[in-house]
Amino acid sequence: MARLALVTGAARGIGRAIALELARNSFDVAVNFNHSAEAAEALVKEIEALGVRAGAFQADVSDSKQAEELFRKVREALDPVGVLVNNAGITRDTLLMRMKPEDWDAVLSTNLNSAFYCTKEALRDMARARWGRIVTISSVVGLTGNAGQANYAASKAGLIGFTKSIAREYAARGITANAVAPGFIDTSMTEVLKDDVKAVIAAQIPAGHIGAPEDVARAVAFFAREESSYITGQVLAVDGGMTMC
Ligand code: NAP
């Protein structure tokens, strides 16, 4: 029987590419969305056409009760979760002196708290099965910091410490926890930037161009594989050589 992967924020962008890549790798897929209901339903059809099972599940994963309910619904409709991809994320960029507590709280609760809520739920299923893969989408900004993104960088750095701690707690139980740190990837999160800003960023990337969601998705699928069982607590940058640290 195929294992079930739950991807948070999967209706569009990087999450969508991850959901499709996992389906191509024979995982059944639970597609979590918050606002993008239509896109989530369309994605479920696309995944089912690949010959695996799928379902769309609405939940704001920054809310602990909704995260708990999400896992209950996924277990009921499909299966217990074998692979969790903590992907949901937002930005509220501004320089620190202009950053409001609301900007800080929204980013920390969506990017970091959600991973705590979802991982805790997923680990119930994984510990019982003595098998699990937790893959968390951090960012190179969590490694290097970035002016105008103190809230986002703190959340993404927090996810790395979180991942390494979970990896240590669960390594002996067949459960791995790893992080993927994307660089600059072409999604709606980055399309708000002006073309000249994008050109400046691209010039700083050794590969010479920005990445695609599929570049990140393939790294996630690598960590989810059966054969990756001896790899845990790692952070893999998918950034065209931007950070190399
Ligand atoms: P995106 O296109 O803006 O998509 C964000 C996704 O997150 C959407 O599917 C959205 O769902 C979901 N989401 C946001 N808040 C949510 C919540 N409270 N509950 C459930 N889902 C929620 O962004 P992206 O570029 O694909 O980013 C995906 C991940 O990659 C994020 O963690 C981001 O920080 C990370 N990342 C992106 C880049 C980049 O360059 N793009 C670089 C490094 C890291 P709905 O549409 O359903 O509301």
Kindly state whether residue 51 falls inside one of the protein's structural domains. Answer: yes
Q: Per residue in 58-91, pLDDT tens? A: 999 999 999 999 999 999 999 999 999 999 999 9
Distance of CA 154 to the CA centre of its chain: 16
**40 CB-side CA count, 13 A:** 20
Residues belonging to the active site: 152
Task: Supply φ then ψ for residue 86, to 5 degrees.
Answer: -85, 95
Confidence band of 199 (pLDDT split at 50, 70, 90): confident
Inform me whether the pLDDT recorded for 244 exceeds 80: yes
Confidence band of 109 (pLDDT split at 50, 70, 90): very high
Kindly state whether residue 205 falls inside one of the protein's structural domains. Answer: no
Residue 100: domain span:
4-184+216-236
Q: Which 8-state DSSP code applies to residue 181?
A: E
Confidence band of 194 (pLDDT split at 50, 70, 90): confident
Kindly state whether residue 115 falls inside one of the protein's structural domains. Answer: yes
Rounded to whole angstroms, the Cα distance separating 6 from 83 reads 6
Kindly state whether residue 191 falls inside one of the protein's structural domains. Answer: no
Inform me whether the pLDDT recorded for 185 exceeds 90: yes
Residue located nearest, by CA, to atom 46 of ligand 1: 36
Instruction: Tally the domains of the chain.
Output: 1
Residue 60 CA: nearest ligand 1 atom is 19
Report the pLDDT value the prediction gives residue 167, as an integer from 0 to 100. 98
Contact 90 CB / ligand 1 (< 6 Å)? yes
Residue located nearest, by CA, to atom 23 of ligand 1: 189
Angle at 112 between CA 37 and CA 151, to 5 degrees: 105
Mean pLDDT value of segment 176-190: 96
Report the pLDDT value the prediction gives residue 193, as an integer from 0 to 100. 84
Rounded to whole angstroms, the Cα distance separating 121 from 19 reads 19
Report the pLDDT value the prediction gives residue 58, as an integer from 0 to 100. 99
pTM of the entire predicted model: 0.98
Kindly state whether residue 198 falls inside one of the protein's structural domains. Answer: no
From the list 84, 26, 78, the residue with the least C-alpha distance to 52 is 26
Kindly state whether residue 207 falls inside one of the protein's structural domains. Answer: no
Kindly state whether residue 197 falls inside one of the protein's structural domains. Answer: no
Kindly state whether residue 209 falls inside one of the protein's structural domains. Answer: no
Report the pLDDT value the prediction gives residue 1, as an integer from 0 to 100. 80
Contact 149 CB / ligand 1 (< 6 Å)? no
Residue 109 CA: nearest ligand 1 atom is 18
Residue 216 CA: nearest ligand 1 atom is 30
Q: Per residue in 38-56, pLDDT tens? A: 999 999 999 999 999 999 9
Rounded to whole angstroms, the Cα distance separating 64 from 190 reads 28
Rounded to whole angstroms, the Cα distance separating 94 from 143 reads 19
Rounded to whole angstroms, the Cα distance separating 141 from 24 reads 29
Residue to substitute in 34, 60, 201 for testing ligand 1 pocket (most ligand atoms within 8 angstroms of CB): 34
Question: Residue 229 belongs to a domain with what CATH number?
Answer: 3.40.50.720
Q: Which 8-state DSSP code applies to residue 239?
A: S
